[in-house]
Structure 1
Amino acid sequence: MPLMVKDYSWTQTESKVYISVPLKGMNAKHVDIFATDEYLKVHFPPFLFEAFLFAPVDDDKSIAKIGNGVAVFTLQKQKEELWNQLITYNEDREKQKEIRQKAILKAQEKAAADSKAKAAQKQEESKFALQTMMKLEEEERAKIQKIKNDECKKAVNELETWKLEHKSKEEKAIQPQRQSIQSVRNTEISKVEKLSVPLSSGRVGVIPQLGNKNVPKTENVNLPGPRSCGNIKVNFTPRVFPTALRESRVPEEEEWLKKQAEARRVVAADLAELDDLKPEERNPDWLKEKGDKFFVAGNYQAALNAYNLALKLNRKLPSLYSNRAACHLKLRNLHKAIEDSSQALELLTPPVADNAAARLKAHVRRGTAFCELELYVEGLQDYHAALKIDPDNQKLQEDTQKIRDIIQGALG
């Protein structure tokens, strides 16, 4: 049975109550405090302080501080008045039990409401992040469309200018020829023989009869001939991995292709919190592209949020883990960077030519995280694995040598 604390003290104003409870030399981490608007309990075994308050208080505005062996409570009264006493003395154990149960029920309801509010806030933040990404995408799309429209307008204007210039040149070239033709026609008409023929009305008509002189013709414009037709030979191959050793790696390549196809079909089963998302927002590839754009722009936290949401939809894509590891490196979450890089390497099996670049990035990112944690031996192992994939990489060779020098300096 707990020992009840009797040597507490309290003071009050019209709006607040101050209670001081001695902790009997107990450590603060062993003190359990439970409070509602009508009930206060401080439990530090084997001692117990329990108060059935004289009037209700506002527990949201009340505070508790523990220090120097004393727990001090500042309770905000719901109604401004002076209390006759701190505790309502009630010897009815059933009544006390009812008050305790009522306090526990209130605390549970409050905790459930807080949890629901946090979940709603988290959902709103996630929705806001997606809306921000969509807004950025829309702005980028509008910018690209504007560039296209400007280029199209510029091309049309240039074409119209070229047509006018070309037409003007043609007019200037044809004008002398027209003048020459008109001059010849005038000469021929003046020399024509007039023939009289009877008309139906009885009048005499004159029919001009042109001579047989040659009329100068317009010069032919040299135009390019029509394009000659031809055939383009296209060869198709069913192979996916066009490598020199592909014939000897057929089983591994087929296994990798099968894993990739299965990964693309995987969709998270629990999407209750994502019901308000649009269809394109449920696409992991779309979210990965958004994360990549945020990462390039230097907004690493936004990129991390995009990769997190994509992984909720599909946990079988190694590129999501590898890219999230890069974000963790930038944000100095080194242990998480190691975990994501390891997960990416686990999914990048079997090792084939198609996933060589992805495996190299994962090894380098994990090795970098190890070195940042001063675990240089583990980091050197990952850099050696990366060098096996790309032995001619000069930058990788230099970084590997730097790590060797650090290890040798530490050992020396």
Structure 2
Amino acid sequence: MPVQVGDYSWQQTEAAVFLSLPLRGVSVRDADVFCAENYLKVNFPPFLFEVFLYAPIDDASSKAKIGNDTVIFTLYKKEVAMWEMLSMPGVDKETKQKIREKSILQAQQTAQEAEEAKAKARREDQKYALTVMMKIEEDERKKIEDMKENERRKATKELEVWRECQKKDEEQKPIPREEKLQQGKQTKEERKQLKHKTVTRNSTFSHHATKGRNSEDIFAEALQESSIPAPRSVGSIKINFTPRVFPTALRESQVAEEEEWLHKQAEARRAMNTDIPEFCDLKEEEKNPDWLKEKGNKLFATENYLAAINAYNLAIRLNNKIPLLYLNRAACHLKLKNLHKAIEDSSKALELLTPPVKDNANARMKAHVRRGTAFCQLELYVEGLQDYEAALKIDPANEIVQHDAEKIRSIIQGTEVNSCD
């Protein structure tokens, strides 16, 4: 028997409803999401969530996003109005069954209409492709016929010119009767040979015109083969490699910069083995974490974020149980775009801000907002939205956090492309 899920949160505007459903281990592959006009269901065995909506929605434009153990819905209302509640009040089992059956029938009808439209579009595409192919073949056939006709006219013209020349020569040169008879015989034979050459030429052209581009390719290949040079003589090239400590070639490296890098690495290793609080030359106030925290706050106010981080680092080494040190250092990392470090410090601050009481509510809200901002700048918008919603649970009247959460929802649903600041 499925386990009914009742743990969810929802918010609304006059035009849309935003529903967040936490499901541990949920994934796109295993979850079955069904959305209709008045009915919404998520089946992720053994969990089952269904709600009979208070008013109709536009199921075609509504969207769902699955990720980070959460299903987030954006449901667009058909009528612009504020709902009194998410689900329809006072629905008995018989009415629920009718709504389920009606929703399934509507979904099947919509799917069938979409399939028919897709098949029609596919047929239109095939028809268009066939028309284009026929036109291309017709143009190619016409081109070949024109080439044959031009070649025939050219051959006919050459024959007529040759005949005119022969005629003029006969008129200008007087010859004896016997030679004339002999020349007449030769002229008949030449005419037969010319006629044979003309027929052969037309036949050859017809053969080449039928083959079209293939004949041109054959002639091009023959020409290319005839122009291939002879193979080169066999030889060997000896290559010597210069031994190098660094993986790059000597021509691509600068020895001075490499030595400086090695020196800095050695200095960094020596610094990591040094315990700063044990330095005997520290001033008395520098051993006070609260004084260091105030010093870091002043440096943050002057936008000297690196110096502020150094002050917070020293304070944390002196006392690593003060949550505000991690929270303030997270703000510095956020300004410097050290996003992973900002997430790490915000999570550490939330870990120390326990139990959740009224005195630490403001600090917890700031930690959620800073971690959510870092997630958004890493384009992890689902995780960022969860932190902003957690901040709104602590301070629901904060208009700035409400505006940023609305902006993240728009990004998740694809209606806005700008990332969070």
**Does TM-score exceed 0.5, indicating one fold?**
no
Structure richer in strand, relative to its length: 1
Scaled to the shorter chain, the TM-score interval is 0.3 to 0.5
